[in-house]
């Protein structure tokens, strides 16, 4: 049996459901497919559960520091089963709300099953076929498991399976010193696990400037997390009830024993089993769907949104993809991916908020810049909270006074960075930011100050 719709959406992550709702509200008939859980990565294995877990870890950290604030407490303990229950409940409630919303949308049909192309404009789910004039792919991504020696001989965790733990690991080894790995490393250290971060490269979060990398490493090491960089010979082998993790073939301790190993070395798109070739949809060497600046694929009438198009790996970029496509199709707009300003956060404690170019990136691009910096130890709000680690920085074009980017590694950095982002989005200069009055006492109030002290 073949069913025809005006539009088909494959995947229920952050872009798909919002787009389905917009199309349905415009009078279109829409079918939206989901092979597993409504909500995508963010709701089920990403933002919501991980930040819920990070919040529990932060509560444990503050409880241990009670005496620093004049609050006397006894020894604390961690009930990991309750942490898991809370994490699952928060994610589950969001997933249930999303599903109920989609099922109740007039003009929208939610179909569970593995959707795959059988021909241009034709999708099969089980024994049923569906056709549509327009098709939108929003299938997200998953953890990448590299072909390292012994990978198939031991049980490795990913960001998804780690969330299912109901006991604290004795020794968690995190393979990968980047964003996902570092968030989990700090959280489980605060739950009481011994934690080692293993990074093949010379430093952590190598996408960031070295000043940020070193500061984050110092923060983690101060909490008792061991960091091993330049681990050029990573390998695995069973060792009784443990996992032997090989680190080096030349320098330093050659290996260590772990009770659990988290593989956090990147992600790959969920595009390998969609039958994209049958629809003439081009992918790149890594499996990402090739799209233009308006998110159109190589196949007429097909768009790709979210993590699977390689244009962003965040919930906010996925949702922005929806806005671009919806406004271009329904409102006569001409929005483009290249219009948005890169921004993201690392949710360690303190968090890292980033927008635009860092000082190092600006220099690499040949830009002559002025830079404003201030350590968080000189930010009153941070000192009052006794959370004064990190620094803030703003990067400005030396000739035009254009704000090129900002970095805030410090308490509330993930929130405060938006004052720089909003100024950039509205084309404001650093001098305009300098003359803006911010509320005292806040972290954000120092941003105009550093905009006025550029060197």
Share above pLDDT 70 across residues of the chain, in percent, rounded to a whole number: 100
pLDDT score for 353: 98
Neighbours of 106 (CB within 10 A): 8
pLDDT tens for residues 336-365?
A: 999 999 999 999 999 999 999 999 999 999
Sequence ranges of the domains in the chain: 2-142+268-339, 151-265, 343-451
Residues 6 or more apart in contact with residue 141 via CB below 8 angstroms: 41, 267, 268, 269, 270, 307, 308, 313
User: 315 with 18: CB under 8 angstroms?
Assistant: no
CATH class of 2-142+268-339: alpha beta
Own/partner pairs, 253-257, CB within 8 angstroms, 24+ separation: 256/171, 256/173, 256/196, 257/171
Residue 103 has pLDDT above 90, yes or no: yes
Rounded to whole angstroms, the Cα distance separating 264 from 185 reads 11
* Phi-psi sector, 9: left (phi>0), alpha (psi -120 to 50), beta: beta
Q: What average pLDDT does this structure show over 397-424?
A: 98
Local confidence band at 170 (pLDDT 50, 70, 90 cut-offs):
very high
- Cα–Cα nearest to 114, from 34, 37, 13, 40: 34
Local confidence band at 74 (pLDDT 50, 70, 90 cut-offs):
confident
Mean pLDDT is lowest, of 14-18, 149-153, 251-255, 269-273, for 251-255
In the predicted model, what is the mean pLDDT of the chain? 96
User: 138 with 8: CB under 8 angstroms?
Assistant: no
Rounded to whole angstroms, the Cα distance separating 26 from 53 reads 39
CATH architecture of 343-451: 2-Layer Sandwich (3.30)
The CA-based angle 79-83-86, given to 5 degrees, is 140
pLDDT score for 253: 78
Whose structure tokens read 């930040």?
51
User: 32 with 39: CB under 8 angstroms?
Assistant: no
- Cα–Cα nearest to 137, from 160, 119, 117, 118: 117
pLDDT score for 188: 98
Residue 250 has pLDDT above 90, yes or no: no
- Cα–Cα nearest to 188, from 260, 266, 263, 240: 260
CATH code of domain 151-265: 3.50.50.60
Identical fold, 2-142+268-339 and 151-265? yes
- Estimate the crossing angle of helix 179-191 against helix 210-222, to 10 degrees: 20
Residue 249 has pLDDT above 90, yes or no: no
Rounded to whole angstroms, the Cα distance separating 13 from 41 reads 7
Rounded to whole angstroms, the Cα distance separating 407 from 337 reads 22
Q: Is 102 helix (H, G, I), strand (E, B) or coil?
A: helix
Local confidence band at 185 (pLDDT 50, 70, 90 cut-offs):
very high
Rounded to whole angstroms, the Cα distance separating 274 from 266 reads 21
pLDDT tens for residues 187-238?
A: 999 999 999 999 999 999 999 999 999 999 999 999 999 999 999 889 999 9
pLDDT score for 118: 97
- Cα–Cα nearest to 148, from 213, 205, 202, 198: 198
Q: Is 180 helix (H, G, I), strand (E, B) or coil?
A: helix
The DSSP bridge partners found for residue 108 are 30
């Amino acid at each position: 049996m073949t069913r025809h719709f005006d539009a088909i959406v494959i995947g229920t992550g952050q872009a798909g459901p919002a787009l389905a709702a917009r199309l349905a509200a415009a009078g279109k008939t829409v079918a939206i497919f989901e092979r597993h859980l409504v909500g995508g990565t963010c709701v089920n294995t990403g933002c919501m559960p991980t930040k819920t877990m990070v919040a529990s870890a932060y509560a444990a950290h503050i409880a241990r520091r009670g005496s620093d604030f004049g609050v006397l407490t006894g020894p604390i303990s961690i009930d990991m089963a309750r942490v898991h229950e809370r994490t699952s409940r928060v994610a589950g409630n969001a997933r249930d709300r999303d599903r109920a919303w989609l099922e109740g949308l007039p003009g929208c049909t939610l179909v569970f099953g593995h959707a795959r192309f059988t021909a241009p404009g034709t999708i099969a789910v089980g024994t049923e076929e569906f056709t549509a004039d327009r098709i939108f792919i929003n299938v997200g991504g998953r953890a990448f498991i590299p072909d390292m020696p012994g990978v198939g001989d031991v049980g490795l965790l990913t960001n998804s399976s780690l969330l299912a733990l109901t006991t604290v690991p004795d020794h968690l080894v995190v393979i990968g010193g980047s964003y996902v790995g570092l968030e989990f490393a700090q959280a489980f250290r605060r739950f009481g696990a011994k934690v080692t971060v293993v990074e093949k490269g010379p430093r952590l979060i190598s996408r960031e400037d070295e000043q940020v990398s070193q500061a984050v490493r110092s923060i983690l090491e101060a909490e008792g997390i061991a960091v091993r960089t330049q681990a050029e010979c990573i390998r695995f082998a069973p060792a009784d009830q443990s996992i032997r993790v090989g680190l080096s073939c030349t320098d330093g301790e050659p290996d260590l024993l772990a009770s659990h190993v988290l593989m956090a070395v990147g992600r790959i798109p969920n595009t390998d089993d969609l039958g994209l070739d049958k629809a003439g949809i081009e992918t790149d060497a890594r499996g990402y769907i090739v799209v233009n600046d308006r998110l159109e694929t190589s196949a007429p009438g097909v768009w790709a949104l979210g993590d699977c198009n390689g244009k962003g790996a965040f919930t906010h970029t996925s949702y922005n993809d929806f806005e671009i496509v919806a406004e271009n199709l329904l409102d006569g707009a001409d929005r483009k991916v290249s219009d948005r300003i890169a921004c993201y956060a690392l949710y360690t404690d303190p968090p890292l908020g980033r927008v635009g170019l860092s000082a190092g990136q600006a220099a690499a691009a040949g830009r002559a810049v002025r830079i404003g910096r201030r350590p968080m130890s000189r930010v009153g709000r941070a000192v009052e909270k006794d959370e004064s680690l990190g620094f803030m920085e703003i990067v400005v074009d030396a000739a035009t006074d254009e704000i090129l980017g900002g970095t805030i590694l410090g308490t509330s950095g993930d929130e405060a960075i938006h004052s720089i982002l909003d100024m950039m989005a509205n084309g404001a200069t650093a001098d305009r930011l300098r003359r803006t009055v911010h509320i005292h006492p806040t972290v954000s109030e120092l941003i105009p100050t550093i905009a006025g002290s550029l060197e």
